[in-house]
Amino acid sequence: MPEITFREALNQAMAEEMERDPNVFLMGEEVGYYQGAYKVSQGLLEKFGPQRVIDTPIAELGFAGLGVGAAQVGLRPIIEFMTWNFSLLALDQIVNNAAKLRYMSGGQIKMPIVFRGANGSAHQLGAQHSQSMEAWLCHIPGLIVMAPSVPADGKGMLKAAIRDDNPVIFIESEVAYGYKGEVPEGEHIVPIGVGDIKRPGKDVTIVAWSKMVHVALEAANILAGEGIEAEVVDPRTLRPLDEQLLVSSVEKTNRCVIVEEGWPYAGVGAEIAHRIYINAFDHLDAPILRVTSEDVPMPYAANLEHAVVPNAQRVAAAAKKVLYV
């Protein structure tokens, strides 16, 4: 399989789905002539034209609403937010319309729309541009929330999202666009709600998603040097959750650490811990530990930003704590 970047994998997914289905179109800030703020949409304007690759004003609520309306009448919009931080301005359309109209219409109105964009911290972008938004969005019934970690998953999950008849929140790590990995050419679908074991192990389960998977894998390498075999589990879809995969892993390892870039209070990791406690309590030989960002707005200074975000050393320390409790 060819090795390509995460951004190229997402680009492939959109191009293939736009070729397959003329109802698929892309709309957002700088997606056309500028080729995307992170160059994810590079070449799409030239290939599909300005009626299917649409540059918008800086008006998130407006173009999110246009996408919701388009989805109601049978089109399949992909709405790109330059960053999920900017989606706060569009939450009324996402939460009150996209997430609810299929339910409120008794299933008569389908809502095949994908909202996608960059999430989490990058490098010194400050408090207003470094937030992890998945916990906010996972709270809303009616939304599917996906958070791929590697290029192959990015392609397969985005294709599945575009084909689904429900609204999908598609979260991409801002620092992962340049990550490389092997990606199948042509038809490659990763089903919604199916997780993946990124590294098998027997001593402790480490659950992580999006770019935190890479932090977890780095921690697993550290632990391997000490004779500890960590299993890294990537849910991939955060809502609906592959609960059985998580439970099966914990039943095998008897210990669990959950890693997320978001804040600790009411985080996705808290929900995952709850599900594991309910379904695998008798298999746990230690309390579940969570490694999260510190409960503060993101500092601008590089050294302070590094201190806030989870790193491999913190994850490895948590794993050893549950092992030697």
Q: Is the peptide bond before 77 cis (omega within 30 degrees of 0)?
A: no
Which residues have CB under 8 Å from 88's CB, separation 6+? none
Per-residue confidence of the chain (325 residues) as pLDDT tens digits? 899 999 999 999 999 999 999 999 999 999 999 999 999 999 999 999 999 999 999 999 999 999 999 999 999 999 999 999 999 999 999 999 999 999 999 999 999 999 999 999 988 899 999 999 999 999 999 999 999 999 999 999 999 999 999 999 999 999 999 999 999 988 999 999 999 999 999 999 999 999 999 999 999 999 999 999 999 999 999 999 999 999 999 999 999 999 999 999 999 999 999 999 999 999 999 999 999 999 999 999 999 999 999 999 999 999 999 999 7
What count of other Cβ atoms lies within 10 Å of the Cβ of residue 292? 23
Task: Specify whether the CB–CB gap between 288 and 276 falls below 8 A.
Answer: yes
**Is residue 129 annotated as part of the catalytic site, yes or no?**
yes
Give the domains, in start order, of the chain with CATH numbers.
Answer: 3-182 (3.40.50.970), 196-323 (3.40.50.920)
Task: Specify whether the CB–CB gap between 64 and 14 falls below 8 A.
Answer: no
pTM to 2 decimal places: 0.96
- Among candidate residues 16, 17, 29, 60, the one labeled active-site is 60
- Among candidate residues 80, 129, 172, 174, the one labeled active-site is 129
Task: Specify whether the CB–CB gap between 38 and 154 falls below 8 A.
Answer: no
